[in-house]
């Protein structure tokens, strides 16, 4: 094994076994293994290995090497959209160049070439191409499952147990307040047409949210937003949030819509829809709503402040404003 091959093998082992955030950290780890390398050489090695920076929930952006260029299903594509003579692929940050390279080497009929950013790939199509064929081919190539977001129906009650389990697991992982709900309660919302669900084309549960009305229907809460672990990072949470918001406007056109959350991502979704942070005093004073917080691990904080504040942020969409 020559020097370059040996160095690349060591780099691969380091990236696969540790959380490496920068090239400087990688240089230090190589030195521990008795290997000295310039920044230019290291950059070239990283590119040849196909190493990319990927966002990890707990560790931030770290280098990762795709398992294999022959295993495209691990390239983290989150959506595929075809319009006109273009196809746009969205993926996790850092994977776009690897995906573009793979597509260029696959030579799909009708594809002229690709342009890669960080988390987006633009695929140029020729005028005579079969767009439906290309869309199906890309989905099959990268094992991308279509996810449909829609109003839940009585047939979706079969997902109730899984939804409740995801809510419970997420509350434990985040160590923040997510009020638990029973299977019966989730089924009740589905049967009443007051829930939105995301389901893959294979029939897998992907996301969920439901509507609650309070104070004589003058207030509506968008609650229980959850995305299955397998489908996180694919923008499904935002799609579910948008659909439950539109359903709320349709069913309760005069009501003020509110949400309480500790999640920065959910706050951003709400803000983009027109919600604004407000004190709890501007939310419903219906005691039944606040009773629902009793299942939250932080209920004692809310109770000790006489239901005026907690670790959650209150967000309100006022139809009159």
DSSP for 217-277, written as a single string? TTEEEEEEEEE-GGGTTSSHHHHHHHHHHHHHHHH-TTSEEEEEE--HHHHHHHHHHT-EE
Domain boundaries, the chain: 3-64, 72-141, 147-317
pTM of the predicted model as reported, rounded to 2 decimal places? 0.58
DSSP string of 95-148? -HHHHHHHHHHHT-TTEEEEEE-SSEEEEEE-TT--HHHHHHHHHHHTTPPPEE
pLDDT of res. 76: 67
CB-based contacts of 57, cutoff 8 Å, min separation 6: none
DSSP annotation of 36:
-
CB 259 within 8 Å of CB 221: yes
CATH 1.10.10.10 assigned to domain 147-317? The reply is no
Closest by Cα among 278, 259, 179, 173 to 211: 259
Distance between CA atoms of residues 257 and 211, nearest Å: 10
Contact 201, 145 (CB under 8 A): yes
125 close to 88: Cβ distance less than 8 angstroms: no
Residue-wise pLDDT for 230-284, tens only, equals: 787 667 888 899 999 999 999 999 999 998 887 777 888 888 888 999 998 888 8
3-64 to CATH, choices 3.30.470.20, 1.20.990.10, 3.40.50.720, 1.10.10.10: 1.10.10.10
pLDDT score of 55: 59
Among the four given CATH numbers 3.30.1360.40, 3.40.50.300, 3.40.30.10, 3.40.50.11900, the one describing domain 72-141: 3.30.1360.40
Mean pLDDT by 10 residues, the chain (321 residues): 80 87 89 88 81 65 62 63 87 80 83 89 90 81 79 95 88 64 92 94 90 86 87 80 93 91 82 89 83 76 83 86 72
């Amino acid at each position: 094994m020559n020097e370059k091959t040996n160095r690349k093998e060591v780099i691969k082992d380091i990236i696969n076994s540790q959380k490496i955030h920068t090239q400087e950290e990688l240089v230090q780890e190589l030195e521990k293994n008795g290997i000295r390398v310039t920044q230019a050489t290291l950059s070239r090695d990283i590119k040849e290995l196909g190493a990319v920076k990927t966002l990890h929930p707990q560790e931030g952006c770290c280098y990762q090497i795709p398992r294999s260029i022959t295993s495209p299903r691990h390239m983290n594509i989150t959506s595929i959209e075809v319009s006109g003579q273009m196809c746009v692929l969205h993926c996790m940050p850092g994977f776009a160049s690897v995906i573009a390279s793979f597509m260029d080497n696959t030579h799909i009929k009708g594809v002229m070439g690709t342009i890669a950013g960080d988390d987006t790939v633009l695929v140029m199509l020729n005028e005579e191409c079969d767009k439906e064929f290309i869309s199906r081919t890309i989905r099959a190539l990268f094992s991308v499952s279509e996810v449909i977001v829609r109003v839940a129906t009585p047939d979706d009650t079969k997902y109730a147990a899984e939804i409740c389990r995801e809510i419970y697991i997420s509350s434990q992982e985040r160590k923040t307040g997510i009020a638990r709900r029973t299977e019966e309660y989730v089924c009740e919302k589905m049967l009443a047409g007051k829930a939105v669900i995301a389901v893959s084309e294979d029939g897998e549960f992907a996301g969920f949210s439901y509507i609650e009305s309070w104070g004589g229907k003058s207030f509506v809460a968008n609650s229980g937003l959850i995305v299955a672990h397998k489908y996180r990072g694919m923008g499904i949470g935002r799609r579910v949030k948008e659909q439950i918001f539109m359903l709320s406007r349709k069913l309760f056109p005069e009501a003020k819509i509110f949400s309480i959350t500790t999640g920065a991502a959910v706050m951003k979704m709400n803000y983009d829809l027109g919600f604004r942070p407000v004190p709890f005093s501007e939310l419903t004073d219906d005691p039944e709503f606040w009773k629902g917080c009793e299942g939250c691990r932080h209920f004692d904080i809310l109770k000790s402040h006489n239901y005026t504040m907690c670790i959650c942020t209150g967000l309100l969409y006022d139809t009159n404003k």
